[in-house]
Structure 1
């Protein structure tokens, strides 16, 4: 009878099991852990209140999204690796059909509540609360994803040839160092059968995409302890992951640096532009306004800080000061160019310095006084009529006044001497009678000729003095060209070479020979 009852019970159990009416092993296990054992997620997994829960933390970088310099915000897409041991979640897998792992929602378990302390948006939570893996040994593993907007102080000294040191600082705001101990996670080297600390940010090689603006140079991780505060403070310990990144400057070189340099070198063409064109000031002011526009664009790109001036900002300020000086010299050159003898008198030292000494030193060609004409053997006059005036003065100085008066007039009045028959020769007039007769008629012509000669001489003197002022202005232009060009070239090279050679350090931390990489890992 007993054998028959046992057989019936066995057959019913087999039927129920195959028909899906049996209790699920995971359900039995959850009932065992949370009901029978009375699991309380508000309590730390320790047997003694003085014990501390060891929490291991790691970070896997999926994507370096961006670094907004104006907001000093680093945006990253990461996976946060949590692991700890909860003795209350242990079970014998043989009692639950060989079940050795359990996936549970995080709101059912105790969590260390580790958050990003230096977030820049006030959002401490992770992006998605994925399930927690619980092993039969009590080991708990949680890998939630997150998109963090962390604060990253920007050093703008060498922009756009800069590198930045950004960090992600994690700490527990709920538990202090006596309640939980934060550590970097450990992994097993299967070849050496040794554990090592993961003292770096792990890259998700399958999902990671290279950022178009930033290159990752170092990615160390450290546990920091501030012994100046009490262990009961949340500031006592933290796990910080560092991202030392270098900017790829090609975009800024093409769109900002090269246009700035080319526009800056347009300033030297101001000294080649003739003052008569009336466009010297226009070109100089245009260059100044263009540099102001670039400075405005840079100010919108970078944070509003007074701690440092960016490299490109230094260059733009240098160019603006230089172009301002060029504008000032243009005003002086134009003032000199349009001077006249009626408004200014050229002193002897100006003539000596700007018409003799400086043109010779600056290799400026001087206008020739007179050069032989190979075709006619004549003298080529200068722009003024000084040569003709000298000949006219010589002519009038040699001729007597009577000759001047009667040389042409006597012929016009039939008084020129000529041979005629004796019967036709009239009675000769006396010289005094002829002079008295014609003086009143010729005198206005002589006075007019003298006036024209004096006026022409004054005009030529005026034009010559004006030409001298023009030559002085051209000399000042050439002098400024020789001064501004080397200053512009040397200033450009000095400013940008200091940025080009601004390289990140070879090691993440000064004075620490360890490079925090997989190749030189520390074994536990």
Structure 2
């Protein structure tokens, strides 16, 4: 329930047979003005008025009386009335606020209340910066209450008001929509940057600030959720899901460094199908070619060192064929050492197995690359999904704006 503040001009007309005279006997005076407190006045009040000035207005305004007993009382009044707001379409809402005029004490058999015009007078209406007055309708009701045996008539003036939504579109909905669309850029950031989560959290904080501003100006109701409330809720849900998705993608991106290989089903579904559908086919083919082409690793099994030994008799002896090779020193090499590249002794002669450490390092790199590729594919899939969600959100806002401008 809201309070409507209105500056009104009230016109009351009634007939009092006791206030008639013959103008010919009184100098052809057919109309006089007297203080409002000098004559009887009907106790017409506004039933749904609120505030401290409930009841009849001040007696400072004059009343006009004609010779045939017709009385007219014109006075301005600031009225505060209760108005039940329908906030379901806020801020694109249209409200109906009533002014219910009737007698508080006299029933219908003693005082009848009717409207002089079939429609309210808006000739001197002053435009409001927040509301547009569409129409003023008048209806007469006759209601019977439990307190009294006779019914009480009343006249109800209904103001049809339409809210001006430009302020809310320009200051709240537009900036909030642009901030929400920024979450798409988090899917374009590389995972190594470490800024994915911080960007989404910053956007969530910005939306929270806007939501607090809207809560201050929005009518407090629990019956319905306004349009702007649903809009902010959708924005927060989208950004929250985007944050959760980014956390999951980061988890997959760095999973390879812990040595967990990509499961076979995930490899088939994500790399095999989704990757090619999301235009990662070239990257997948390069990865497969790298797996098929083994790296050239330099080992010591192709080198054999022989040593010349000199004896006192000047003869030279070569070490036996099965003797172990000696270490190679590239700096300060003595002439007594000869490098024999033709000999290919078994790897056991060098003291370590055939598979060396570099093979294990290459396997770890392959696992890391696989997980990075999986995270890239899921990142692009999330980007496409949230692009569609944002398009639906923009269409939702545009439809309401279009309906508001054309209605």
Q: Please give the TM-score of this superposition, normalised by the length of structure 2.
A: 0.84
Change (3 A) 1:392 1:503: closer
Match of 1:216 among 133, 152, 162: 133
Mapped to 2, the partners of 1:367 and 1:103 lie a distance apart of: 96
Distance 1:75 1:265 in 2: 39
Count how many residue pairs are aligned between Structure 1 and Structure 2: 385
Specify the SS of the correspondent of 1:355: helix
Deviations 1:438-457 (A, max 9, x none): 546579x9988968972222
Structure 2 match to 1:95: 25
Residues 229 and 223 of structure 1, relative CA distance in 2, 3 Å threshold: farther
In structure 2, C-alpha distance between the alignment counterparts of 1:390 and 1:503, rounded to whole Å: 67
In structure 2, the CA distance between the partners of 1:177 and 1:414, relative to structure 1 (3 Å rule), is same
What aligned pairs does 1:370-449 form with structure 2 within 5 A after superposition?
390-392=295-297, 404-406=302-304, 409-410=305-306, 413=307, 427=315, 429=317, 432=320, 435-436=322-323, 439=325
Deviation at 1:414, TM superposition (A): 5.8
Write the deviation string for residues 362-408 of structure 1: whole angstroms up to 9, x where unpaired. 1125437779xxxxxxxxx97x9x96x63337x87xxxx6xx343xx
How far apart are 1:340 and its partner, in Å?
2.7
- Separation in 2 of the partners of 1:392 and 1:322? 50
Is it true that 1:74 corresponds to 2:1 in the alignment?
no
Aligned to 2:168: 252
How far residue 172 of structure 1 moved from its aligned partner, in angstroms, is 1.0
Contact 1:118–1:168, Cα closer than 8 Å, also in 2: yes
Structure 1: which 5+ residue stretches go unaligned?
1-70, 186-197, 372-380, 416-424, 506-524
SS at match of 2:204: helix
Match in the other structure for 1:497: 399
- Aligned pair 1:120/2:43, yes or no? no
Describe the shift of the 1:368–1:96 C-alpha distance in structure 2 as closer, same or farther (beyond 3 A): closer
Give 1:150's match in structure 2, choosing from 74, 77, 81. Answer: 81
Deviations 1:481-511 (A, max 9, x none): 1111112211331355256426899xxxxxx
Task: Determine the C-alpha separation between the residues in 2 that align with 1:449 and 1:312.
Answer: 75
1:199 to 118, 121, 126: 118
Q: Is the 8 A contact 1:229 1:236 kept in 2?
A: no
Does the CA-based 8 Å contact 2:96-2:160 persist in structure 1? yes
Q: How far, CA to CA, are the matches of 1:370 and 1:117 in structure 2? A: 81
SS in 1 for 2:180: helix
Give the whole-Å Cα distance in 2 for the aligned partners of 1:291 and 1:300. Answer: 15
Task: Between the two structures, name the one with larger relative contact order (CA 8 Å, sep ≥ 6).
Answer: 1
1:160-179 correspondence runs (5 A) = 160-179=91-110
Task: Rate the CA distance shift 1:490–1:369 in 2: closer, same or farther, 3 A.
Answer: closer
- Matched residue SS, 1:237: strand
Deviation at 1:211, TM superposition (A): 0.9
Please report how far the alpha carbon of residue 127 of structure 1 lies from its aligned counterpart in structure 2 after TM superposition. Answer: 5.2
- Superposition deviation, residue 77 in structure 1: 0.7
Larger Rg: 1
Asked if the contact 2:100–2:157 (Cα under 8 Å) also holds between the matched residues in 1, the reply is: yes
> Does structure 1 conserve the Cα–Cα contact (< 8 Å) formed by 2:9 and 2:74?
yes
Instruction: Assess, with a 3 A threshold, how the Cα gap between structure 1 residues 459 and 470 changes in structure 2: closer, same or farther.
Output: same
1:117-516 alignment runs, 5 A limit = 117-125=47-55, 128-129=58-59, 130-185=61-116, 198-205=117-124, 208-226=125-143, 232=149, 236-340=152-256, 342-364=258-280, 366-367=282-283, 390-392=295-297, 404-406=302-304, 409-410=305-306, 413=307, 427=315, 429=317, 432=320, 435-436=322-323, 439=325, 454-494=356-396, 496-498=398-400, 500-501=402-403
Unaligned stretches of 5+ in structure 2?
329-344
Q: Which position in structure 1 is the counterpart of 2:338?
A: none
Shift of 1:354: 2.1
- Report the TM-score, using the length of structure 1 for normalisation: 0.66
